[in-house]
Every structure is written in structure tokens, then in C-alpha cells.
Amino acid sequence: MKRIQIMIPDAIAAAKDYLLEPNGTIKNEFNGYISSLGASIISAGLLPSIIFYSQKGESADRNKIITCIEAILRKHGYPKDFSLLNNVKVLYTGANNQPEINRLTDRIFDAAIALKLSIRTFPKSKKGQS
């Protein structure tokens, strides 16, 4: 829990930078996207989930969740040019990378939880509002 608490200020900053609408709200769809990311990783695996979330959705852009997680992880030891999708692809192509995959997965879960908690501080917009 301590890692998540440390990530919350960076998650709030990422939400402001990437999710906040001009009217000061965050689309309600992002709440669902963040909630389902963990379940997707557990059921489908890390690589398929990151690929799916790196693509744009119909109403709210799922890829903004990945952008926020990348921004949070950059503040916590990952390099400036860190790309989650590219990093995961590289890890899956190498041999004996399971410990690093597990470590990255844990960090992604922590960042997603911090982001989920942080967006609660912003008002939500309903579908069709901007």
C-alpha cells in the first residue's frame, strides 16, 4: 500500500495532464477502463492487455490510461523514453525475463490503483458531455 500512496500525487498530476477535459471533468468511461485493466491483465495476460489498452476506444481513449501509467512509472524510476508497450514486447521476446515481467506487472497494478484513487478527486462527465 505504501508504494500506491507514494504514487497518488503523480497519478493526480497524470490525470490532470492526460484525462482532464476542458470543462474540468474526467469522462466517466475512464473509471471503467482503469477498473477493468487489472482484470484484463489477470485473465488475458500482460502483453494482450497492454496492446488492447494502447488502442483508442470509441468514446474515451483507452490509450490515455496507458499514457497516465507510463507517466506515473517514469516518476518512479523508469527512464524518460519509457514506453510500456515496447517494454512489455521486449520482455516477452527475451528468455528468463519472468522476474522482470512480474515486477513490471506489480508496478502497473500499483500505478493503476493510484490512478483509480486519484480520479475520484475530479468531477465526472456523463456520456456525450465534454
d(C-alpha 63, C-alpha 67), whole Å = 6
Which CATH number goes with the domain that contains 16?
1.10.520.30
| Average pLDDT of the chain to the nearest whole number | 90
- Residue 25: domain span: 2-122
| 44 within some domain | yes
| 128 within some domain | no
| 129 within some domain | no
Total domain count, the chain:
1
pTM of the model: 0.89
The stretch 108-112 carries a mean pLDDT of 95
d(C-alpha 39, C-alpha 21), whole Å = 26
Which of 127 and 25 is assigned the larger pLDDT?
A: 25
Q: Which helix (H) or strand (E) holds 124?
A: strand 124-125
pLDDT value at residue 104: 93
Q: What residue type is 8 in one-letter code?
A: I
